[in-house]
Amino acid sequence: MNGKLNAKRPVVDFHCDVLCKMQLDSKVDFSHPSLDVTKERLLAGHVRLQTFAIYISQVLGTPRFEHIVRQIELFRQHVVSSSGGLRPLLWREDLAEQDEQAEKPKHLDGNGADQTDSPWALLSLEGADALEGNPLYVELCYAIGIRLIGLTWNHANWAADGIMEPRGGGLTRKGRELVKRSNELGLLLDVSHLSVQGFWEVLEEATLPPIASHSNAFAVCSHPRNLRDDQIRALIACDGRIGLTFVTMFIKEQGTVTAEDLLPHIEHICALGGARHMMFGSDFDGIERHVQGLEHPGKYPEFAELLLKHYPEELVTGWLGGHALHYLQTNLPSKRSF
């Protein structure tokens, strides 16, 4: 694949767990060999935008707001610092300004690299546990750059039940207040990890279309974390997005998993009418066992070639990044409203 063709297909990846790894090991920086996601690999994979999730590991004990603050510090020190080289994405205007810059003469650094080509970095919160039920903390998260929030990880917290919680409850009273305040602020909502009941309650109460940042099709692989057909149809109907993920157990129930094993999920979502609502949320650095051929973001060009063997250019371009970028350009808050 040549560089000119790659430039036509920028990649957006809606989920990775780099920040959690950094929090758990002070020796890990953004170029550490233990990471799936590094700037070098993002550039090799033509990733225009990477979402960095703030996930508070259970090994840290009771989640507290200071844990969120620490991961934001790591994000600033290592990812969007001069050494990390990524640019924080906060506003819909940022993406529009980037499109305008693409038409202007390039600004090269001392090494001949285009300074306007650095990937964007978007902050998300995976699980509201560490917000401690405090509305002020929600507002602080928005003020310091978080733009996407998932109410739960797999289990129950003060806001809602996660998908692995046996009782399968929905939102709590405080959870509904969190959704309401997110609506008011312009925080986007992520339904991956939510219980089925919680999913439907978020869709009912959200004023902006939610996304499932890293979930696959339950009809293809019956892992509880995957989306049922009626959930997929509902996200399509509200113009949300579905980020197909590279977690092997969400792709195929057993055996070796290759990049081609994602194709049945793509086919199924297309059959439900979601050809223009798919994107990718790899879960790199949260993956214990990697898909063969999709071990890190530098493999996206090879994955693009695989997709192009089966689907037209327009669809592949949309799945790799176009649909995600359109969603953000439409639904991110405007800096004029801040």
Q: pLDDT, tens digit, for every residue of 35-59?
A: 999 999 999 999 999 999 999 999 9
Average pLDDT over residues 284-290: 97
Chain segment 139-190, per-residue pLDDT in tens = 999 999 999 999 999 999 999 999 999 999 999 999 999 999 999 999 999 9
Average pLDDT over residues 215-239: 98
Q: Give the residue from 283, 214, 275 showing the smallest Cα distance to 244.
A: 214
Q: How confident is the model at residue 1 (pLDDT cuts 50, 70, 90)?
A: very low
Those residues with Cβ within 8 angstroms of residue 211's Cβ, 6 or more apart along the chain or in another chain: 14, 148, 188, 189, 190, 191, 192, 235, 240, 241, 242, 243, 327
Could you tell me what percent of the chain has a pLDDT over 70?
92
pLDDT of res. 98: 62
Q: Give the residue from 185, 224, 57, 208 showing the smallest Cα distance to 127.
A: 57
Q: How confident is the model at residue 116 (pLDDT cuts 50, 70, 90)?
A: low
Instruction: Say if residue 100's pLDDT is above 60.
Output: no
Dihedral Cα 220, 222, 226, 228, nearest 10 deg: 80
Instruction: Say if residue 2's pLDDT is above 60.
Output: no
Q: In terms of pLDDT, which residue wins out, 234 or 106?
A: 234
Q: How confident is the model at residue 337 (pLDDT cuts 50, 70, 90)?
A: confident
Instruction: Say if residue 9's pLDDT is above 90.
Output: no
pLDDT of res. 110: 39
Q: Round the average pLDDT of the chain to a whole number and report it.
A: 93
Confirm if 301 and 1 have CB atoms less than 8 A apart.
Answer: yes
Residue 193 burial by CB count (10 A; 0-12/13-18/19+): exposed, middle or buried? buried
Q: How far is CA 144 from CA 14, 122, 140, 330, 338, in A?
A: 19, 12, 6, 21, 12
Distance of CA 56 to the CA centre of its chain: 16
Structure tokens at 16: 């990775």
pLDDT of res. 97: 74
Structure tokens at 2: 């040549």
Instruction: Say if residue 8's pLDDT is above 70.
Output: no
pLDDT of res. 112: 37
Average pLDDT over residues 106-122: 61
At 157, the amino acid letter reads: N
